[in-house]
Amino acid sequence: MKPKLKILVLFDAVRPTSLDQDLSAELQTPDWKTEAAVLAALRELGHPHATLALFDDMDLLRRKLQVFQPDVIFNLADQFRNDRALDQHIAAYLAMHALPFTGCGPTALALCKNKAIAKRLVASHGVRTARFVTVPRAQRRLAPPPLAFPLIVKPLREEASYGISGAAFVKTAAQYRARVRYLQERTGDDILVEEYIDGRELYVSLIGRRHPQVCPIRELVFGNLPPGAPRIATYQAKWDLAYRRRRGVASGFVTDLAPAVVRRIEAASRTIHRALEIDGYARLDLRLTPDHEVTFIEANPNPMLSPDEDFAQSAMATGLTYPQLIDRLARLGLGATRS
């Protein structure tokens, strides 16, 4: 039997915390289902563990490390001071202190966060990605971009489909201007504008560093959207259960692709993994065009880990139970050296 690990599970919090914060109320809420699932898995595995929720005080972590001295940190902190752009710095802090931790290091987190940087890198490695431009947050003059409509307009650095509604799909210059202005005001982020890629929406999960395991491919199927509605994973399509039921939007495994196509998707996924220096676990968002061309949309390092999400579903389809998956990620983190 493998030795037990002493694990510090690191969360993010939305308000200041203390060293021994009681998180039991939060852990009952749907927002904390990933955190609760990971803790339940650690209990089942018998790993001694402690938790720390970080808001804006890295000194708490230093003190916790002194008293608890973990073998590895299970890093579930994906924001700092309520800012999702700062997650890479938490990983950088851990790397600077030579603390073993799960998931991706700061380089992968930074490269994937900026979707334009990620697309340039992926394209330079020969994987197709939609043509795009970026619009600075302060730019007021909005001439139509040199791209072919329809376009997708989204924040350059957001995730979880924030800012992605049906209106992200734009067919005219007027719609384009309206959507860019709206996102500039609402998100304060720069804007990514890319050509819309028609095709199937695929999610590929990978685990590992140099020779990652590519897990069975998942797909978001768009059932019966209203006529003319874009087939994209809007915030509603992802998170609104009533809408998903009504519109037949469903997640599942891909079973109908020819083995040669699956192999091409897997090869492209490995290339993307390498291009973006992914060194932990990740979920890639791809589109497969009607003529079976693999197109990169974006990469999600440290994707949500709850058992019902695509990443865990894919990983478990390789034959792991959920606790075994959590154990695997912890042991992978233990052996990592990061950049």
Burial class (CB in 10 A: 0-12, 13-18, 19+), 293: middle
Contact of residue 310 among ligand ATP, Mg ion, none (CB under 5-8 Å per partner type): none
Strands (E), the chain: 7-12, 49-54, 72-75, 128-129, 132-135, 151-155, 169-170, 191-195, 200-207, 213-214, 218-222, 249-253, 281-288, 294-301
Burial class (CB in 10 A: 0-12, 13-18, 19+), 149: middle
User: 3-class DSSP state for residue 120?
Assistant: helix
Contact of residue 219 among Mg ion, ligand ATP, none (CB under 5-8 Å per partner type): none
**Residue 171, Cβ neighbours under 10 Å: how many?**
13
Contact of residue 194 among ligand ATP, Mg ion, none (CB under 5-8 Å per partner type): ligand ATP
Q: Which is nearer to Mg ion, 55 or 203 (CB)?
A: 203
Find the shortest distance in angstroms from Cβ 294 to ligand ATP: 13
Contact of residue 130 among ligand ATP, Mg ion, none (CB under 5-8 Å per partner type): ligand ATP
Find the shortest distance in angstroms from Cβ 168 to ligand ATP: 7
Residues with Cβ within 8 Å of residue 324, at least 6 apart in sequence: none
Contact of residue 52 among ligand ATP, Mg ion, none (CB under 5-8 Å per partner type): none
**Residue 185, Cβ neighbours under 10 Å: how many?**
9
Contact of residue 312 among ligand ATP, Mg ion, none (CB under 5-8 Å per partner type): none
Burial class (CB in 10 A: 0-12, 13-18, 19+), 182: middle
**Residue 124, Cβ neighbours under 10 Å: how many?**
9
Any bridge partners for residue 53, and if so which? 11
Q: Which is nearer to ligand ATP, 23 or 193 (CB)?
A: 193
Question: Footprint of ligand ATP on this chain (CB under 6 A)?
Answer: 130, 152, 154, 158-162, 164, 194, 196-197, 201, 232-233, 238, 285, 287, 297-298, 300
Within residues 292-321, the interface with Mg ion by CB under 5 A covers: 298
DSSP-derived pairing of the beta strands 200-207 and 218-222 = antiparallel
The reply to whether 194 sits near Mg ion by the rule CB under 5 A is no
The reply to whether 285 sits near Mg ion by the rule CB under 5 A is yes
**Count of residues that bind Mg ion according to CB under 5 A:** 2
Find the shortest distance in angstroms from Cβ 238 to Mg ion: 9
Find the shortest distance in angstroms from Cβ 78 to ligand ATP: 11
Contact of residue 148 among ligand ATP, Mg ion, none (CB under 5-8 Å per partner type): none
Find the shortest distance in angstroms from Cβ 17 to ligand ATP: 25
How many helices and strands (H and E) does the chain possess? 12, 14
The reply to whether 158 sits near Mg ion by the rule CB under 5 A is no
Q: Can you give the binding site for Mg ion, defined by CB under 5 A? A: 285, 298
